[in-house]
Amino acid sequence: MMGSDLPSPDKVVALYKANNITDVRIFHPDTNVLEALRGSGLGVVLGTLNSDLAPLASDASYAASWVQSYVQPFAGAVSFRYINAGNEVIPGESAALVLPSMQNLEAALRAAGLSVPVTTAMATSVLGTSYPPSQGAFSEAALPTVGPIVSFLASRGTPLLVNVYPYFAYSAEPSSVPLDYALLSSSAAVAVTDNGVEYANMFDAILDAVYAAVEKAGGGESLELVVSETGWPSGGGGYGASVENAAAYINNLVRHVGRGTPRRPGKAVETYIFAMFNENQKPEGVEQYFGMFQPDMSQVYHVDFSASS
């Protein structure tokens, strides 16, 4: 939503439905957007602003008013899948605010008679080890914060949200990461063999490294991961950023995620594509070019959502 020229929320909801997109993630509460989502049938992941974590963590009444403003008025007509307290704040100075924010939001939802799972969204920078995938482990900086969050989520059967970007790994080291491996190409050769388990795409390898880390942190094999962001830029000058590569990655992703990963075979991965639109108020460069659609609602490239595996 960081664009000066984006369509109105009702038009965006219609565009979702016209493209067989079933769920939407919004990064901060916006009552105009929530109004447009009423009765749409779209599942909604609703985020808090990172700047709201401090009051949410320290003040139960603030969490209650947040729920009363952004969840309660819409709860009957909007299908809330999760509320995520913060996006990519672990590790960092706000990391310790995440779990108390989750706890206060959960208590406020319960007091309001609402049962919406509360979680958080993490970047893969929480990993200290990611290769090979079976050795995945949270970093020493992240583990003290992530460990209790994993326990909180596991005890409730709520998934952890994780943002997965093969693009950034590829663009940082294109000489050591095959493009086909990063793009989930069906023709990609096996690039990683891990205790006899073969990986022919980086998406699965990253996700399974997080699964391994979650298991080591006490989450067991029952804690699910939801990919709360993944995408590929179509421009902006970054290495490998092109319409052709973005179209390949997103279409391959749509076809792939229903199959699960080697560590969770057959277990479909709930996945959110970043992003719906190119956004001209993002930092210059690739950040402005992650959209599947232009602000005028024309396609940057075609995505066949009906091909979802």
Using DSSP, state whether 9 is helix, strand or coil: helix
Answer yes or no: are the C-beta atoms of 45 and 228 closer than 8 Å: yes
Q: Which of 72, 89, 66, 77 is nearest to 37 (CA)?
A: 77
DSSP one-letter string for 96-120 = GGHHHHHHHHHHHHHHTT----EEE
Give me the residues paired with residue 277 across strands. Answer: 293
Active site residue 229: yes
Query: Catalytic residue among 88, 106, 215, 224, which?
Result: 88
For the question of residue 93 being annotated catalytic, the response is no
DSSP string of 153-214, one letter each residue: HHHHTPPEEEE--HHHHHHH-TTTS-HHHHTT-TTPPP-EEETTEEES-HHHHHHHHHHHHH
Quick one: how many helices (H) and strands (E) in the chain? 10, 13
Closest CA to 246 of 255, 233, 257: 233
Length, in residues, of the chain: 309
Pick the catalytic residue from 215, 229, 270, 279.
Answer: 229
CA distance 273 to 97: 27
Catalytic positions are 88, 229
